[in-house]
Amino acid sequence: MTLDLRGSGGKVPGVDPWSGPDLREKILGGQLEEILGELATGAYAALPDEARAFLLRGKRMELVRARLLEVVSAMPVFEPLAIIERIRDYLPAAFGSEVVNFSEYLGGDHISLRRESDAPIREGKLFRNRFGDFGHPLFERAAREKRVLQGQVTERERNRNRYRTDAFMVVPVVVQDQTLGILSFADKAAQALYGRLDEEELGRFARTFGNTLTDKVEKSHDGLTGLLNRTRFVQALDDLLASSRRGGTPLSVVYADLDHFKEVNDRFGHAVGDQVLRELARILAGAVRYAGPVKDLVGRMGGEEFCLALPLPEGPAVDRARVIHARIREYPFASVGRRTASLGVRSWTPAEHGISVDDLIRQADEAMYHRKQHGRDGVTLHREISAAAR
């Protein structure tokens, strides 16, 4: 099973461990200079100035990198790409580079390709970063071989391609044996070319960082579908609701259930049923937004039940639910053909007080169940059944 790591969780609002202008203070609680000062006047005191400076620089980066990984583990974010983007600006200080960029890997048979639009990827363009899609032979090699590589740019290449770098290291970020992208460390701050020690250091960091992200993914994602599991979805939705309250923005929850799923398992077997659920998960993940300051959420609540959180008012949220319903209805599921689904929508506005995450999920579920009781195969708003009950 291959997890879709790009669209299952999104960036969860919360306390940003990187907020504030002073990285040193944030990383080690103000103790970094004190630690380095003790080393300089103690263990390193008898060393020549050049050797002492070299060792202190190495110790500084070691402490920064250790704290960096600790903070990543504590981040209230479940999507690896979002974590990478949040820490990218702090990697130069951790490794003594002038600049670090991240390029998302789009190529490879084992990668679940996700795009935020239907525009095709031009042939040979295997990576995407903030500046667009591009191809780079060394990047592709590092992504496929899953190992750190180093390169240099000749003066001719700099003049022809307008590169602004002399040397760089390319570091693949690997999560659950998937290469998500390449961190490129350009130009050493010490005005020297990268060497074997840099390659070894970055290789160790890449392995530890990948293991840390893998641990977050495995604890937060459903093993069958790759979507957020119920526990993490509820936690992420709680953060999203708190953010909506602070910002005075609307929020909608959509509860979806595949109709007659028990018949699929009884007639075709559980292996086919699992495949149907994986295909349904891809439909749902493909219907949410991955761009913008606040992203949608989608999770598996259990069995054939799924839930989406959309930072949208009722009208657009219902439109999205109807699009999802239509996509499910039109999709030719493997071995079982076309199926239908029942969806319930509960929209919240800042004018409502005392509403909890459990309330939103329960009421979206009630709307879905009402749809089940009245013919299935459609979308029902909780507001409509509440009005009918009065």
Q: CATH number, domain at 137? A: 3.30.450.40
Give the pLDDT confidence score for residue 81 in this predicted structure. 83
Residues 209/213/219/222 CA torsion (nearest 10 deg): -150
Does 7 map to a domain? no
3-state secondary structure of 374: coil
Give the pLDDT confidence score for residue 340 in this predicted structure. 96
The domain tally of the chain equals 3
Write the CATH number for 376. Answer: 3.30.70.270
Q: Are residues 107 and 195 in the same domain?
A: yes
**Rounded distance between C-alpha atoms, residue 129 and residue 181, angstroms:** 9
Does 225 map to a domain? no
The 10 Å Cβ neighbour count of residue 347 is 24
Does 220 map to a domain? no
Does 242 map to a domain? yes
**Strand boundaries in the chain, DSSP class E:** 97-105, 127-129, 132-134, 149-152, 167-175, 178-188, 251-258, 297-302, 305-310, 341-348, 378-381
Amino acid at 150: Q
Q: Are residues 273 and 328 in the same domain?
A: yes
Q: Are residues 352 and 306 in the same domain?
A: yes
Q: Are residues 156 and 240 in the same domain?
A: no
Q: Are residues 340 and 272 in the same domain?
A: yes
Q: Are residues 370 and 235 in the same domain?
A: yes
Domain stop point among 74, 94, 116: 74
Give the pLDDT confidence score for residue 164 in this predicted structure. 62
Q: Are residues 350 and 377 in the same domain?
A: yes
pTM exceeds 0.95 for this model: no
Does 155 map to a domain? yes
Give the pLDDT confidence score for residue 124 in this predicted structure. 53
Q: Are residues 94 and 145 in the same domain?
A: yes
Asked whether 378 and 343 are in contact (CB, 8 A), the reply is: yes
Does 276 map to a domain? yes
Give the pLDDT confidence score for residue 18 in this predicted structure. 58
Per-residue CA distances from 323 to 286, 317, 344, 379, 382 (Å) = 11, 10, 13, 10, 18
3-state secondary structure of 331: coil
The predicted-structure confidence for 175-209, as pLDDT tens digits, reads as follows 988 899 999 998 888 777 888 888 888 999 999 99
What is the domain range of residue 63? 18-74
Residues in contact with 156: Cβ distance below 8 Å, sequence separation at least 6, in sequence order:
none
Residue numbers of the chain with a pLDDT score lower than 50 = 1-2, 6-15, 109-123, 291-292
Does 219 map to a domain? no
Q: Are residues 319 and 170 in the same domain?
A: no
Give the pLDDT confidence score for residue 27 in this predicted structure. 67
| N residues, the chain | 390
**Rounded distance between C-alpha atoms, residue 135 and residue 121, angstroms:** 11
Q: Are residues 183 and 300 in the same domain?
A: no
Q: Are residues 24 and 136 in the same domain?
A: no
Per-residue CA distances from 30 to 26, 27, 37, 55, 388 (Å) = 7, 8, 12, 20, 60
Domain stop point among 186, 214, 242: 214
Give the pLDDT confidence score for residue 80 in this predicted structure. 86
Does 11 map to a domain? no
Asked whether 84 and 181 are in contact (CB, 8 A), the reply is: yes
Q: Are residues 26 and 96 in the same domain?
A: no
**Rounded distance between C-alpha atoms, residue 139 and residue 150, angstroms:** 10
Burial class (CB in 10 A: 0-12, 13-18, 19+), 311: buried
Domain stop point among 56, 74, 92: 74
Give the pLDDT confidence score for residue 161 in this predicted structure. 54
Amino acid at 299: G
